Structure 1
Amino acid sequence: MTTDSPIRWAHDDGIVVLTLDDPTQSANTMTDSFRAALGTTVDRLEAERDAIRGVVITSAKKVFFAGGDLRDILRTTRDDVAKNPDYGRIVKGHLRRLETLGRPVVAAIGGAALGGGLELALAAHHRVVVDDPAIPLGLPEVTLGLLPGGGGVVRTVRMLGITAALDRVLLPGTRFTPAQARDLGLVDALVPSAAGLLPAAKEWIAANPAPVQPWDRPGHRLPGGDPADPAFAAGLPRLTANLRKRLGGANLPAPHHILAAAVEGAQVDFETALEIEARYFADLVTGPTAKNMIKAFFVDMRRVRGPRGRPPGPATFAPDRAVVLGAGMMGAGIAHACAAAGMHVVLTDTSMAAAERGKERVAGVLADAVARGRLGTGDRDRILSRITPAADAAQASVARLVIEAVFEDPAVKADALAAVEPHLAEDALIASNTSTLPITGLAEGTSDPSGFVGLHFFSPVHKMPLVEVIRGKATSDETLHRALDVVRLLKKTAIVVNDSRGFFTSRVIRTFNDEGLRMLAEGVPAPSIEQACRQAGYPTPVLQLSDELNFALMRRIRAVGRAEGEAPGVAEQVVVRMLDEYGRGGRTAGAGFYDYASGRRARLWPGLPDAFGGDRTDVPFQDLVERLLFIEAIEAVRCLDERVIESAADANVGSLLGIGYPRWTGGVLQYIDGYDGGPAGFAARARQLADAYGDRFLPPPSLLTGAERADRYAGEPA
């Protein structure tokens, strides 16, 4: 092997140790160089087989193997695949030769093995992993609009059975801890530390001199049966029904292709199954959905998690003591996040009883995590021990971080901050969790507005990965970077927005909510509205979302807007009628657009047709779908024009992680780039919607100008 090869070869006493160590990258990926090195390595193994007792595959990187190079996937076109009949097949061939070498092959895994990394390990006869819960293993390709293209579908189906492989591994894209992967059967053994990997691998090789993969043994049968078995055939409708339920009609081809590759591949020999997998993979990798999702979750995510112009020098801000003002649902969630990050948290409210209820909320969330096997009892106890309920602001003494999460009223927030500020450490970062109130105005109530910032968390905090960092007019660069440090410490993703009412996420999602209520007022049947949301790919349909938001709160927010000159709209009229005429206030009131039984959503309220009509069946269904998608995308363009949002990457990531914009789009601005015809095609369709439904769909001037120049928000073709 050459010194610059991504695979190092060492031969000692009949054992060949192959160390994955690409000298040109911080992580091992499926580059052209790696493909060539893998082929050369297998050639040499076959040539020297008589002198080899076994093979160990390990890694010199923190990550075992990171899988495919997503930048290559973004560049791949259908023409590329058409011109290269071997596309996606070469590595499959190398791995097949490896597992049929006639010598034991062990994957010794000391770091993350996701996607192609796990596929490489699955081609080994035995997999041993360091027992560290921080090491993830899995096949998450579906989350990027792809399927495992290195034999992952074929091998997991033959290892686990069709149903288990689909339900537990392939369709959810689950990331397993080493212990979970062992219990499922994806890996075989665990060792306490990396030092035990090589000895364990050599011990297994000595005890298994001539292993054969289960699927290569005569008479091998799939666990649970193959599609020809009556028992499996009877359960196939459940698989397809579950898939339809999972997708809700959304434009996500990857799950369909995974199901097809699994079922079709289970009916043929191994090599033919690999070919079926390759063809489905090629269709996905050249399609728009995968490119949109890769652009968002790889390219844009790296940008928003980057340094953001932070100058070198200042140490990372890592407060060890925090105070959270307000112990309601949001405050308790923020306290939980801070305590889980290692901070000691004082959780305050107007009474000790209210503060203690906040800690009880945290305890409930932690108990659920323990019950689901996601958290140990020791970690639960440590997190809870870091939270101190309090009714006296003086207990926040020397805290270096304060996050205010009280009622959405400027006066209430000002009073809470004024009470706590004298007790804080001198360099404390002061933040508000407001979702709508301008940060600049709130900062005026503090002694130093330059040290004040917005940290808008999303509910439920323990599940939602996004934090909107809002910069007021006086917020200093240092304060902004300290706030970003806090978000990273909490293991969440930040987008940066400038101050305005509603900021970015609340402003954009409001257009979605308003458009759905406008459809209802137009007489569009409520079930059609909800189904349009599902088929667009929204995780929560608009009427259901409105119920969750609470109509009384929505009315209060609109009232504040009217006080600042905002005209009342159709959506507000719907909310007022639901409250005043029908006494329905949303889920917390036990009745909204849906009926509820014992707190659980039961059905759409049968009174909706009488209240708002429901006979407008002449509206094209595709118009309903695109009205929802377009109205949010257009508002995002306006936010970009007004510098409320600073980059297309922030807009895309914020819309996906914060407000449930459909994943297949790649985000609000990537949706425009990826629309048929790009921005020009989007603008033409927007004009059609404006002609049919109103001027709110008119494309902003900047969009028209960019479309004329063939610009894209990504700065490059999608």
Structure 2
Amino acid sequence: MIYQGKSLNAALLENGIADVVFDAEGSVNKFDQQTVRELEEVCQALIDNGNVKGAVVRSAKGVFIVGADITEFGALFAMPDDEILTWVAKTSQAFDKFEDLPFPTVCAINGFALGGGCEMTLACDLRVADTTAVIGLPEVKLGLMPGFGGTVRLPRLIGADNAMEWMSTGRNNKPDAALKVGAIDAVVAPEKLQAAALSMVQDAIDGKIDWQARRAQKKSPLSLNKNESMMSFATAKAMVAAQAGKHYPAPHVMVDTLAAASVMDREGALKLENEGFVKLAKTDAAKAQIGIFMADQLVKGKGKKMAKAATKQVNQAAVLGAGIMGGGIAYQSAVTGTPTVMKDIAQPALDLGLTEAAKILGKGMQRGKVDAAKMAKTLNSIVPTLEYSAIKDADIVIEAVVENPKVKGIVLAETEQHVADDAIICSNTSTISINQLAASLQKPERFCGMHFFNPVHRMPLVEIIRGEKTSDETIAAVVAFTLKMGKTPIVVNDCPGFLVNRVLFPYFAGFSKLVLDGADFVAVDKVMEKDFGWPMGPAYLLDVVGMDTADHAAGVMAAGIPERLQKIDNDPVEALYKAQRLGQKNGKGFYNFGVDKRGKPTKTAAQEAYDLIKVEHKAFDKEEIIARLMIPMANEAVRCLEEGIVASAAEADMALLYGLGFPPFRGGIFRYMETMGLQNFVALADKYAHLGPIYQISDGLREMAAIGKSYFG
């Protein structure tokens, strides 16, 4: 044994080849600070040995290296800039030391080689991957850029244009795509990986591969002339500006760094990379996006733990109520491998549900993601029916009929008479109390809410709502089924609107009050989209939701939380609903919807909407617009956490991110408040407290701000 550490070991094989193996104590290999130290130590041990002629780097696990240990970033990035710079420079020097070993090195890549894992492969002279490999530099998704030499080595290996596309998108790459651009040198079957790597390093030792020339290329300036350089980086900057916009600094800094470093050798280029990394580490966007990653890990971990405890498997599903929502749920169940009965009381609704599923699959075929066999299998797994008898074998039944408590209660009671005693029954309600609906059932312990978001196949969140009598076994089984469907489950307790809609409707109320005070809804949408970062402004979102749906839900919220969410006098939403301006569903709401001469959708501000609102317009600055909409949402989210509706701030943030499209660069509603500073948020909310209860903060939030506590522990 040449070296034995906790994460790395090295042994000398025959022919003088060192076998360098990443094998951390956990389930995967990561580049934590300990592993970086061991990388330096193993390099020195290899140099000191004297008998090493070449080295193969591999993993003892099912994946190579998943990247840096992101759990360390919080403490690291809180350090002063000069200390972060020292850390990242020292880390990247460990990779340099490996690259400078006095003999050829080959990396054997299996499974994930991402971030720091990818950068480890780049520090080797040659790379061979098996067919399971996934290679990429996804740091941009954390608001960062590669910091261990990725921006230096990758462009010198695959060209500046390919490298900037890899890094600015953060996309994962399959072996064939990586081979095509030259990021790896060969692809083999998994069982041949180690032998192929040993053969490749032997060829390098024997002089059949000029590994020294390859190494020299990675350490030299980019081979671009002045015109090529100008065209390459100007094009990349334009693409980043168009796709990333102003809210995501990472791809901008990365391209600028790569451009400046293109004329430098490795030492100069790495210095610029280190400085760019530190600059990004201190941004609010990085803090938010790293927070999202951590919150996502928490949510997924809780989901997997609950699913593991499930005692009932779902092998057959049923959906009650076809149409667009029911068809979407049936599609999602069937496409992920669960045969699904779709029941309705009317044949046209069943036809609509099947059409919805076929439409989703058709679009998948157009994009090359679905083949004819998958389309046929999915559609054949959806069985339309008008008869209750068809659901008798279902392990889970999801009710998705009209959002009316009386109708839902009748349907649920009928359903219970036609399913097995251990079948789970769920309601896809968006606002109606689960406890109220449970009163219709003889066995309420097997009942819970299962709130999907539209369009079902694209929205990742499913809110699972626990009623007072819902059993743990029911929740575990529904969580497991949600994961099987490819969705992210977040379990919440019952209350009006549950979590997502409960925090959304105060936001809508803030919008209505602002419009009644004279704000132009187009101007409000522009600020909330362009400046705050929502995918849709509130007026546009209401048009998509539908004014009938929004008005009904507002009534439910008013009845459930009358102290804060009473309906607003002269509410523009209610005015549009009464005028049958329902939004996109009938082509007219705040906006008029249509198509242009080329058949592309159009959206124009509706004069009819202005006429119905009947207020004199006045200008509001963007800070006030944002404050008047976001304070009510934040306040209600805080109350949901304080009342135990949601278990953690992290889960609330992920629910809003996945359910509403909360801007990722802001990290979620709690991360947004903490980035602002809780004391600053309290002061801002107090400034608008005179506008009504939705602007008045809780005592709990005021106390947390006063003593400097964090919602993230």
The answer (yes or no) to whether the contact 1:106–1:128 under 8 Å persists in 2 is: yes
The alignment status of 1:557 with 2:543, answered yes or no, reads: no
Instruction: Tell me by how many angstroms 1:468 deviates.
Output: 0.7
Instruction: Tell me by how many angstroms 1:704 deviates.
Output: 1.1
The alignment status of 1:701 with 2:708, answered yes or no, reads: no
| Match runs of 1:513-528 below 5 Å | 513-528=508-523
Q: Which residue of 2 aligns with 1:175?
A: 172
The alignment status of 1:412 with 2:416, answered yes or no, reads: no
Cα–Cα, structure 1 residues 367 and 223, in superposed 2: closer, same or farther, change >3 Å? farther
Instruction: Tell me by how many angstroms 1:333 deviates.
Output: 2.3
Cα–Cα, structure 1 residues 196 and 75, in superposed 2: closer, same or farther, change >3 Å? same
Q: State the SS of the aligned residue for 1:712.
A: coil
Q: Residues of 1 paired with 2:519 and 2:105: CA distance? A: 61
Pairwise CA RMSD: 3.2
The answer (yes or no) to whether the contact 1:555–1:572 under 8 Å persists in 2 is: no
Q: Which stretch has the larger CA shift, 269-278 or 499-508?
A: 269-278
Question: Structure 1 residue aligned with 2:439, among 444, 455, 460?
Answer: 444
Cα–Cα, structure 1 residues 590 and 315, in superposed 2: closer, same or farther, change >3 Å? closer
Question: Structure 2 residue aligned with 1:285, among 259, 276, 281?
Answer: 281
Q: Unaligned regions of 5+ residues in structure 2, if any?
A: none
Q: Which residue of 2 aligns with 1:276?
A: 272
User: TM-score by structure 1 length?
Assistant: 0.89
Q: State the SS of the aligned residue for 1:417.
A: helix
The alignment of Structure 1 onto Structure 2 pairs a total of residues equal to 700
Instruction: Tell me by how many angstroms 1:184 deviates.
Output: 5.3
Deviations 1:620-646 (A, max 9, x none): 322222333322111101222333223
Q: Residues of 1 paired with 2:570 and 2:124: CA distance? A: 61
Q: Which stretch has the larger CA shift, 544-553 or 583-592?
A: 583-592
The answer (yes or no) to whether the contact 2:575–2:613 under 8 Å persists in 1 is: no
The answer (yes or no) to whether the contact 2:3–2:11 under 8 Å persists in 1 is: no
| Match runs of 1:137-216 below 5 Å | 137-166=135-164, 168-183=165-180, 185-192=182-189, 194-208=190-204, 209-212=209-212, 216=216
Cα–Cα, structure 1 residues 79 and 110, in superposed 2: closer, same or farther, change >3 Å? closer
Deviations 1:69-99 (A, max 9, x none): 1221111245454246532122322323433
Cα–Cα, structure 1 residues 178 and 462, in superposed 2: closer, same or farther, change >3 Å? farther
Q: State the SS of the aligned residue for 1:76.
A: helix
Q: Residues of 1 paired with 2:212 and 2:629: CA distance? A: 54
Instruction: Tell me by how many angstroms 1:436 deviates.
Output: 0.8
Q: Residues of 2 paired with 1:42 and 1:613: CA distance? A: 75
Q: Which residue of 1 aligns with 2:637?
A: 636
Q: Residues of 1 paired with 2:487 and 2:353: CA distance? A: 21
Deviations 1:333-374 (A, max 9, x none): 222332233222112222445334423422332343344344
Deviations 1:234-289 (A, max 9, x none): 6356335314xx33x43x33233223223323343333222111111112224443
| Match runs of 1:334-483 below 5 Å | 334-375=329-370, 377-483=372-478
Instruction: Tell me by how many angstroms 1:321 deviates.
Output: 0.9
Q: State the SS of the aligned residue for 1:411.
A: helix
Deviations 1:429-483 (A, max 9, x none): 1111111111111112222111100011112222222111101122122222222
Q: Residues of 2 paired with 1:480 and 1:46: CA distance? A: 56
Q: State the SS of the aligned residue for 2:314.
A: coil
Q: Which residue of 2 aligns with 1:592?
A: 589
Instruction: Tell me by how many angstroms 1:686 deviates.
Output: 1.3
Q: Residues of 2 paired with 1:390 and 1:697: CA distance? A: 49
The answer (yes or no) to whether the contact 2:76–2:84 under 8 Å persists in 1 is: no
Q: Residues of 2 paired with 1:454 and 1:351: CA distance? A: 24
The answer (yes or no) to whether the contact 1:523–1:613 under 8 Å persists in 2 is: no
Instruction: Tell me by how many angstroms 1:117 deviates.
Output: 1.3
Q: Residues of 1 paired with 2:686 and 2:73: CA distance? A: 33
Q: Residues of 1 paired with 2:225 and 2:312: CA distance? A: 56
Deviations 1:96-148 (A, max 9, x none): 3433446443222222222211221222333333323xx54322222222222
Q: Which stretch has the larger CA shift, 5-14 or 153-162?
A: 153-162
Instruction: Tell me by how many angstroms 1:527 deviates.
Output: 4.0
Q: Unaligned regions of 5+ residues in structure 1, if any?
A: none
Cα–Cα, structure 1 residues 185 and 443, in superposed 2: closer, same or farther, change >3 Å? farther
Q: Residues of 2 paired with 1:280 and 1:219: CA distance? A: 19
The answer (yes or no) to whether the contact 2:22–2:59 under 8 Å persists in 1 is: yes
Q: Which residue of 1 aligns with 2:622?
A: 621
Q: Residues of 1 paired with 2:650 and 2:603: CA distance? A: 38
Q: Residues of 1 paired with 2:622 and 2:191: CA distance? A: 60
2:21 aligned partner, one-letter code: T
Q: Residues of 1 paired with 2:657 and 2:316: CA distance? A: 31
User: TM-score by structure 2 length?
Assistant: 0.89
Deviations 1:196-240 (A, max 9, x none): 111222333344533257683499886987776453366356335
1:705 aligned partner, one-letter code: E
| Match runs of 1:560-709 below 5 Å | 560-561=556-557, 566=562, 569-570=567-568, 573-580=571-578, 584-598=581-595, 600-605=600-605, 607=607, 612=613, 618-675=619-676, 678-691=677-690, 693-709=691-707
Cα–Cα, structure 1 residues 473 and 72, in superposed 2: closer, same or farther, change >3 Å? same
Deviations 1:540-598 (A, max 9, x none): 222221111111222233344566685764497212333445x5321121223333333
Question: Structure 1 residue aligned with 2:525, among 527, 530, 551?
Answer: 530
Q: Which residue of 2 aligns with 1:93?
A: 93
2:440 aligned partner, one-letter code: G
Cα–Cα, structure 1 residues 123 and 572, in superposed 2: closer, same or farther, change >3 Å? farther
| Match runs of 1:26-105 below 5 Å | 26-47=27-48, 51-52=52-53, 54-77=54-77, 79-83=79-83, 85-101=85-101, 103-105=103-105
Q: State the SS of the aligned residue for 1:403.
A: strand
Q: Which stretch has the larger CA shift, 452-461 or 367-376?
A: 367-376
Q: Residues of 2 paired with 1:175 and 1:149: CA distance? A: 18
Q: State the SS of the aligned residue for 2:697.
A: coil
1:553 aligned partner, one-letter code: T
1:573 aligned partner, one-letter code: D
Q: Residues of 2 paired with 1:137 and 1:81: CA distance? A: 30
Q: Residues of 2 paired with 1:30 and 1:713: CA distance? A: 28
Q: State the SS of the aligned residue for 1:292.
A: helix
Cα–Cα, structure 1 residues 96 and 518, in superposed 2: closer, same or farther, change >3 Å? same
Q: Which stretch has the larger CA shift, 450-459 or 79-88?
A: 79-88
Q: Residues of 2 paired with 1:141 and 1:684: CA distance? A: 35
Q: Residues of 2 paired with 1:49 and 1:529: CA distance? A: 70
1:108 aligned partner, one-letter code: A
Q: Which residue of 2 aligns with 1:15?
A: 17
Q: Which stretch has the larger CA shift, 269-278 or 92-101?
A: 92-101
Q: Which stretch has the larger CA shift, 216-225 or 393-402?
A: 216-225
Q: Which has the higher helix share?
A: 2
Q: State the SS of the aligned residue for 1:306.
A: helix
Percent identity over paired residues:
30
Q: Residues of 2 paired with 1:293 and 1:569: CA distance? A: 36
The answer (yes or no) to whether the contact 1:81–1:87 under 8 Å persists in 2 is: no
Q: Residues of 1 paired with 2:496 and 2:342: CA distance? A: 27
Cα–Cα, structure 1 residues 205 and 394, in superposed 2: closer, same or farther, change >3 Å? same
The alignment status of 1:506 with 2:506, answered yes or no, reads: no
Q: Which stretch has the larger CA shift, 76-85 or 501-510?
A: 76-85
Q: Residues of 1 paired with 2:569 and 2:129: CA distance? A: 55
Q: Residues of 1 paired with 2:219 and 2:75: CA distance? A: 43
Q: State the SS of the aligned residue for 1:88.
A: helix
